[in-house]
């Protein structure tokens, strides 16, 4: 049966003995190996009752089996819902409750803890070595699977992204949202079967899953697949590779090591950065050291990639480049009216890349998508005369730490519930490694003897480690403007 994403991204590689994944200390995996594994996993999914439209939640270590599970989910017509491995039980409980999945796949180490929140979902396991109840019976499964009929508008992915209200919303990504974006990026970045990508990003977000894998798999490129970012491993793979996609932290960490030289990068064709602002000085330092001009691009979970600096042409440091072909980008005021060229406004976007809406939240979707189809990103931008977009700030209250997004409201809600806290304000300050790091200003009740340990323990019981404030600052009152709104810019300036 026709399956829009599978047919165009994966099916053409059936039978190909070309190496897809190379990994440290593990055998290579060919395209055909991966597709046979995906077909077997599709049979496993179906044996557990997975049907078209069902959600498959995965919070598991980064493995080739997890990539095959993504492909298998697409084949069965189900919806892939990957989760950050750092999420706590409470966080996973929210996603499972909201998405009501048929399956919940997790690390065996966490199975006991997550059984209690699985609800109606069947719980299966997948470990860092690929073992677990998901794959236990794989060899017995057929290596071919007849894909379930799915058209361009059907859902392929559901990716949760924190909302300004503090609770995450599931961004519904259709087969064509993903396919059209992958096609544009392959074209724009001139990715071919001769490329070898260093893959060190997590595969539970758009960047590592869709941007990095959909593009390289589409053209039949090779992928050096790392379980996570490892500076030594990356440096040793650079001479054998042609392509790297990373968050700015990857680049500052590479630059902090003297082994990074132009010679080491002589075989590299392209370095791409995104998910957080790349400082112009990082861009320039990287060029000075390696001769390569990092190509910065800009996107969002809800929209996939929106703009990119050009492959041939001027890669302008500090800008996120030009709108992708077929994607319209406007810089507007609050009413959606264009601001005069060169002035700062809200970035709005429309195109085949833009998501289908928030899962079971039509009112949230309507609040962020205009009637004319433009999606309001919450980013503040400025468009140059020749069409280059610069992200100058955010209208949304968001901290980006090491490429992970953290919405202060989610942390403030937890802090405010702790006895002895009158109010709190969470904000980001510049950090040389993660770009931004999280601080919390607390107004304690004078009568309480609240310790930092109490605050940290409460936060730790609920939120993933990367969301924890690295410091608590006590204040008599939060700085507020005449409207009574907390002035986070004042806090940032005071504590940067
Ligand atoms: C790990 N830690 C962090 C972060 N990552 N703290 C703050 N921010 C982070 N991003 C903490 C851990 O909890 C731990 O804390 C300590 O740092 C070391 O953990 P470790 O796992 O060793 O960290 P790492 O391996 O050095 O990881 C840092 C990293 C990683 C490589 C920057 O976070 C990463 O791969 N980030 C990429 C995120 C990404 O893919 N974003 C794309 C989103 P402690 O020691 O105190 O316990 S998609 C997106 O944004 C859009 C669509 C787009 O445009 O792409
Ligand atoms: P998310 O959808 O949660 O992964 O995060 C998307 C947000 O990351 C965007 O709205 C931007 O604020 C930010 N972002 C992504 N890429 C860039 C970039 N190249 N420069 C600045 N901000 C970026």
- CATH number for position 348: 3.40.50.12780
Residues 59 and 205 in one domain: no
Ligand nearest to the CA of 230: 1
Angle between helices 89-99 and 452-462 (to 10 degrees): 40
Convert the pLDDT of each residue in 124-153 to its tens digit. Answer: 999 999 999 999 999 999 999 999 999 999
Tell me how far the alpha carbon of residue 266 lies from the centroid of ligand 2, in angstroms: 30
Residue 306 in any domain: the answer is yes
Residues whose CB falls within 8 Å of the CB of residue 365, separated by 6 or more in sequence, listed in order: 357, 358
Closest ligand to Cα 319: 2
**Whether residue 111 is found in the same domain as residue 40:** yes
What are the phi and psi torsion angles at 457 (to 5°)?
-65, -40
- Ligand 1 site residues (CB inside 6 A) read 201-202, 205-208, 228-229, 247, 249, 274-275, 299-301, 401-404, 434, 465-466
pLDDT at position 167: 77
Quick one: 136 and 110 in the same domain?
yes
pLDDT at 163: 56
Per the structure block, which two tokens stand in for 315? 């890669």
Q: What is the pLDDT of residue 28?
A: 98
At which of 98, 128, 151 does a domain end? 151
Q: Are residues 373 and 402 in the same domain?
A: no
Q: pLDDT tens for residues 45-82?
A: 999 999 999 999 999 999 999 999 999 999 999 999 99
CA-nearest residue for atom 47, ligand 1, is: 465
Ligand 1: residue of 273, 405, 465 to mutate (most ligand atoms within 8 A of CB) is 465
Closest Cα to residue 464, out of 203, 93, 85?
85
| Structure tokens that stand for 328 in this block | 């319209």
- Is residue 288 assigned to a domain? yes
Statement to judge: residues 108 and 71 lie in one domain? yes
Q: Which residues of 105-138 are buried (b: 16+ CB within 10 A; e: fewer)?
A: bbbbebbeebeebbeebebbbbbbebebbbbeeb
Ligand 1, atom 45: closest residue by C-alpha: 465
CA distance 113 to 116: 6
Any domain includes 344: yes
DSSP 443: E
Residue 375 has which token pair? 């999606």
Instruction: For residue 401, give the ligand 1 atom closest to its CA.
Output: 8
Residue 14 lies in a domain: yes
253 and 353 within one domain: yes
Of 349, 368, 394, the one marking the end of a domain is 394
Question: What's the rounded Cα separation, in Å, for the pair 459 and 452?
Answer: 11
pTM: 0.96
DSSP calls for 244-289 = EEE-HHHHHHHHTSTT--TTTTTT--EEEE-SSPPPHHHHHHHHHH
Instruction: Tell how far the Cα of 379 is from the centroid of ligand 2, in angstroms.
Output: 8
The count of other CB atoms within 10 Å of the CB of residue 335 is 6
Encode the chain (496 residues) as per-residue pLDDT tens digits: 999 999 999 999 999 999 999 999 999 999 999 999 999 999 999 999 999 999 999 999 999 999 999 999 999 999 999 999 999 999 999 999 999 999 999 999 999 999 999 999 999 999 999 999 999 999 999 999 999 999 999 999 999 997 555 579 999 999 999 999 999 999 999 999 999 999 999 999 999 999 999 999 999 999 999 999 999 999 999 999 999 999 999 999 999 999 999 999 999 999 999 999 999 999 999 999 999 999 999 999 999 999 999 999 999 999 999 999 999 999 999 999 999 999 999 999 999 999 999 999 999 999 999 999 999 999 999 999 999 999 999 998 999 999 999 999 999 999 999 999 999 999 999 999 999 999 999 999 988 989 999 999 999 999 999 999 999 999 999 999 988 899 999 999 999 8
Domain hosting residue 408, numbered range = 398-495
One domain for residues 296 and 385? yes
Q: Which amino acid residue places its CA nearest to atom 53 of ligand 1?
A: 275
Query: Residue 403 Cα, ligand 1 centroid: separation in angstroms?
Result: 7
Ligand 2 atom 23: the closest Cα is on which residue?
A: 276
* CATH code of 475's domain: 3.30.300.30
**421 and 319 together in one domain:** no
Q: Can you give the C-alpha Rg of the chain in angstroms?
A: 23
User: Which ligand minimizes its atom distance to the CA of 234?
Assistant: 1
Which atom from ligand 2 is nearest to the alpha carbon of 296?
19
Phi, psi of 258 (to 5 degrees): -70, -15
Q: Are residues 413 and 481 in the same domain?
A: yes
Q: Are residues 265 and 210 in the same domain?
A: yes
**pLDDT computed for residue 484 by the predictor:** 87
Q: Is 159 part of any domain? A: no
Judgement on whether residues 113 and 53 belong to the same structural domain of the protein? yes
Ligand nearest to the CA of 393: 2
Query: Cα(162) to centroid of ligand 1, in Å?
Result: 16
Helix (H) or strand (E) holding 97: helix 89-99
Q: Could you tell me if 327 and 382 lie in one domain?
A: yes
Given this model, what pLDDT does residue 483 score? 87
Beta strand segments in 163-263, E: 168-174, 196-199, 222-225, 243-246
Calpha distance 496→490 (Å, rounded): 10
Distance CA 39, CA 43 (A): 6
The answer to the question of residue 430 being in a domain is yes
Q: How many domains does the chain have?
A: 3
Q: What is the dihedral of CA 402, 408, 410, 415, to 10 degrees?
A: 120
Residue 302 alpha carbon, nearest atom of ligand 2: 2
Which of these three, 97, 120, 151, is where a domain ends? 151
Q: In angstroms, what is the span from residue 402 Cα to ligand 1's centroid?
A: 5
Ligand 2 binding pocket includes 98 (Cβ within 6 Å): no
Is 204 within a domain? yes
The predicted structure's pLDDT at residue 40: 98
| Three-state DSSP state, 192 | coil
- Does 266 reside within a domain? yes
- Cα-to-centroid distance, 239 and ligand 2 (Å): 29
């Amino acid at each position: 049966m026709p399956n829009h994403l599978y047919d165009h991204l994966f099916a053409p590689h059936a039978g190909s003995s070309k190496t897809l994944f190379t990994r440290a200390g593990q055998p290579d995996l060919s395209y055909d190996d991966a597709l046979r594994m995906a077909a077997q996993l599709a049979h496993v999914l179906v044996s557990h009752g997975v049907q078209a439209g069902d959600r498959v939640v995965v919070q598991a270590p980064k493995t080739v089996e997890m990539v095959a599970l993504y492909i298998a989910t697409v084949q069965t017509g189900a919806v892939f819902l990957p989760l950050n491995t750092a999420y706590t039980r409470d966080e996973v409980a929210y996603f499972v409750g909201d998405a009501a999945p048929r399956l919940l796949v997790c690390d065996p180490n966490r199975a006991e803890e997550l059984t209690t929140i699985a609800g109606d979902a069947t719980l299966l396991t997948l470990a860092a070595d690929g073992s677990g109840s998901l794959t236990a019976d794989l060899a017995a499964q057929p290596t071919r699977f007849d894909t379930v009929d799915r058209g361009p508008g059907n859902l392929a992915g559901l990716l949760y992204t924190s909302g300004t209200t503090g609770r995450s919303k599931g961004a519904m990504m259709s087969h064509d949202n993903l396919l059209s974006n992958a096609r544009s990026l392959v074209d724009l970045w001139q990715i071919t079967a001769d490329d070898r990508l260093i893959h060190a990003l997590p595969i539970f977000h758009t960047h590592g899953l869709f941007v990095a894998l959909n593009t390289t798999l589409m053209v039949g490129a090779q992928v050096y697949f790392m379980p996570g970012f490892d500076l030594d491993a990356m440096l040793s793979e650079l001479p054998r590779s042609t392509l790297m996609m990373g968050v700015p932290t990857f680049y500052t960490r590479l630059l902090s090591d003297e082994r990074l030289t132009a010679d080491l990068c002589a075989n590299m064709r392209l370095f791409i950065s995104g998910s957080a602002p790349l400082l112009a000085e990082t861009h320039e330092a990287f060029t000075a050291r390696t001769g390569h001009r990092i190509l910065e691009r800009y996107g969002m979970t809800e929209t996939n990639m929106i703009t990119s600096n050009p492959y041939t042409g001027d890669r302008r440091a500090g800008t996120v480049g030009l709108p992708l072909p077929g994607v319209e980008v406007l810089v507007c005021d609050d009413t959606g009216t264009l601001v005069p060229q060169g002035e700062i406004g809200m970035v709005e976007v429309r195109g085949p890349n833009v998501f289908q809406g928030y899962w079971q939240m039509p009112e949230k979707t309507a609040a962020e998508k205009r009637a004319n189809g433009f999606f309001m990103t919450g980013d503040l931008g400025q468009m140059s005369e020749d069409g280059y977009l610069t992200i100058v700030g955010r209208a949304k209250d968001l901290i980006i730490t090491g490429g992970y997004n953290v919405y202060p409201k989610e942390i403030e809600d937890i802090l405010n519930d702790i006895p002895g806290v009158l109010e709190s304000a969470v904000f980001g300050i510049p950090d040389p490694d993660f770009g931004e790091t999280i601080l919390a200003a607390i107004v304690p009740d004078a009568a309480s003897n609240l310790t930092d340990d109490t605050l940290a323990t409460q936060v730790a019981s609920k939120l993933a480690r990367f969301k924890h404030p690295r410091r608590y600052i006590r204040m008599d009152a939060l700085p507020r403007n005449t409207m009574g709104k907390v002035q986070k810019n004042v806090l940032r300036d005071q504590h940067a």
